[in-house]
Amino acid sequence: MPRKTNSPNPVLIEIINDLKKKSLEQDAGIWKRVATDLERPSRQRREVNLARISKYTKANDTIIVPGKVLGAGDIAHKLTIAAFQFSQGAREKLEKKGAKIVSLRDICKESPAGKNIRIIG
């Protein structure tokens, strides 16, 4: 079992707590899973390239990356994506393609039950 993060990042700790709280309120396991993945040390968090996202998603999908989105490769379609971090190259490519980039807090508020959301990574 991975150790919990000892991150001094107050934003990360607040996001993790919000996700856990939403998981209990809505009985939605997806938020607990994302919070658990974000609690890992930074070296063990997920890093996903745009090429992989493009390969495993369809147009207009909603996905979460509990880690960082990297800019290697291209995205072939529009989608809604939430992640803890985005590289500058990934953010530029996603914006150019018309993808909707949202924060983890916002996606949690938009879809509290976590329906039709996939975790990639």
Q: What is the pLDDT of residues 43-80, one digit of tens each?
A: 888 999 999 999 999 999 999 999 999 999 999 899 99
Number of neighbouring beta carbons within 10 Å of residue 118: 12
- Does the structural domain 10-119 have CATH classification 3.30.70.260? no
Which residues, 6+ apart, have CB-to-CB distance to 52 below 8 Å? 73, 120
Q: pTM of the prediction? A: 0.87
* Confidence category of residue 6, pLDDT binned at 50, 70, 90: low
